[in-house]
């Protein structure tokens, strides 16, 4: 007890990864369309680094990352 704990929720939207190639269902075309505007993984990494690098008296509660073209 007494320790300061910082927790950050990282909520990414479509992120460029190999995940889009693992869908083999009928929804594969929808998945591929969703990932056309995906943000690079490096962008998510920069956001995580931002949260971690804050001083001890700062807590970044949540970061939502999504492509500007993503509608939700």
Q: Is the pTM of this model over 0.85?
A: no
Cβ atoms of residues 20 and 33 within 8 Å: no
Residue length of the chain: 72
Residuewise pLDDT in 10s, the chain (72 residues) = 567 788 999 998 878 877 666 766 766 666 666 667 788 899 999 999 999 999 988 999 999 998 887 665
Quick one: pLDDT at residue 2? 62
Beta bridge partners of 10: 63
């Amino acid at each position: 007890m007494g320790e300061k704990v910082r927790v950050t929720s990282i909520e990414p939207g479509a992120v460029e990864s190999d995940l889009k190639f693992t869908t083999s269902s009928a929804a594969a075309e929808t998945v591929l369309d969703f990932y056309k505007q995906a943000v690079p993984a490096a962008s998510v990494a920069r956001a995580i680094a931002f949260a971690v690098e804050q001083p001890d008296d700062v807590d970044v509660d949540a970061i939502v990352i999504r492509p500007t073209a993503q509608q939700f």
